[in-house]
Amino acid sequence: MTQSTITTEVAEMVAPTPPPIKGDWKEYRKVFDPKLINKAIDVVKTALSLFTAGVPLIRRGPAGETHVDVPVMYMGVAIDRIHYDPYLKAPSPKGRPVRAWNVEIDPQEVRQTIEVVLKEAYVIEAAEFREPEDAWAIPVAWNRLIIMHVKVSYDGRELIPDYGLTEEVRRYVI
């Protein structure tokens, strides 16, 4: 055996073929079906009347600021969070978490406010597609403000909880 033959055999033993990556974009060939949007919207419309306000998550920051989120609950899991504005005593639009200073926050009042908001909320008949989750995100509005997004499976048959928020609620409440 020559030196080059031994080197080639050792290299083949040391460097195995790398395994494929799950979810490789080349494998993603699902046919996009826009008809499923209507199904997803209908699922959210049906579930909306069953949403309830969870225990407000009140956080105090190092500079003395206070931030309040209210989880929207459905069958024991969190669907999304609604930002709460303690100055206005009302929801804040999605993407605008409010940091407040020198305010007293009554968790019961916050929860009651969001319960009323959920009764007045309505589904916007539109959808975003979230590819990594293979799901639709259906916006829900109140007083012409988008206050949350409800994720629905691609086939439009089931709601997808916010698992991270659900765990946060369980840690915070228990």
d(CA 15, CA 11): 6
Q: Please, which residues have CB within 8 angstroms of residue 159's CB and are 6 or more apart in sequence?
A: 43, 44, 47, 74, 79, 150, 151, 152, 153
Q: Which residues pair with 142 in a beta bridge?
A: 145
Give the per-residue pLDDT at 96: 95
Q: What is the pLDDT of residue 174?
A: 55
pLDDT at position 131: 84
Question: pLDDT tens-digit profile of 1-34?
Answer: 555 555 555 555 555 565 554 444 444 446 678 8
- What pLDDT, on a 0 to 100 scale, did the predictor assign at position 90? 97
Counting as low any pLDDT under 50, the low residues of the chain are: 21-29
Closest CA to 138 of 47, 17, 58: 47
The alpha-carbon radius of gyration of the chain (Å, integer) is: 23
Q: Cβ contacts of residue 126 below 8 Å, gap of 6+? A: 138, 139
Q: Model's pTM, two decimal places?
A: 0.80
**15: which 2 tokens?**
């460097």
Contact 118, 72 (CB under 8 A): yes
pLDDT in tens, 101-110: 999 999 999 9
CA distance 119 to 116: 5
Return the exposure string of 133-155: e unless at least 16 CB atoms fall within 10 Å of the residue's CB, then b. Answer: eebbbbbbbbeeeebbbbbbbbe
